[in-house]
A = this chain, B = another copy of it.
Amino acid sequence: MKTASYAAYAAKESLHPHTIERRSLQSTDVLIEIEYCGVCHTDLHFVNNDWGMTKYPVVPGHEIVGRIKQVGSEVGKFKVGDLAAIGCMVNSCGQCSSCESGNEQYCLNGFTATYNSPVSDPGGMTFGGYSQRIVADESFVLHVPEGLETPGTAPLLCAGITTYSPLLHWSVCQGMKVGIVGLGGLGHMGVKFSHALGAHTVMITTTPEKAEDAKKLGADETLLSTDSDQMSKQAGEFDFILNTIPVDHQVDPYLDLLKVDGTMCVVGAIEPLSQVNAAQLMFGRKQLAGSLIGGISQTQEMLNFCGENNIVSEVEVIRIDQIQEAFERLLKSDVKYRFVIDLKSI
Contacts and interface: CB of A to CB of B under 8 A. Distances in A.
A77 interface: no
A282 interface: yes
A287 interface: yes
B290 A280 contact: yes
Contacts of A267: 282
A172 to B, nearest CB: 15
A286 interface: yes
A103 B260 CA distance: 9
A120 interface: no
Interface stretch (A33-41, A268-276, A336-344): A268-276
A12 interface: no
Interface residues of A, number: 37
Q: Assembly of this chain: how many copies? A: 2
B274 A281 contact: no
A224 interface: no
A287 B285 contact: no
A20 interface: no
Interface in A235-274: 236, 252, 260, 263, 266-267, 269-274
A236 B289 contact: no
Contacts of A289: 281, 285-288
Contact of A98 (B260, B272, B274): B260
Contact of A273 (B97, B271, B276): B276
Residue from A98, A277, A290 having most chain B Cβ neighbours under 10 A = A290
Contact of A291 (B98, B103, B282): B282
Interface in A14-48: none
Contacts of A252: 272
Contacts of A276: 272-273, 276, 288
Interface of A: 97-98, 103, 106, 108, 166, 169, 236, 252, 260, 263, 266-267, 269-292
Given A272-B278, A278-B290, 11 more contacts: A106-B283, A270-B279, A271-B277, A272-B277, A272-B279, A276-B288, A281-B288, A281-B289, A283-B290, A287-B287, A287-B288
The 7 A-B pairs at the shortest CB distance, nearest first, are namely A281-B290, A282-B290, A287-B289, A106-B260, A276-B276, A269-B278, A287-B287
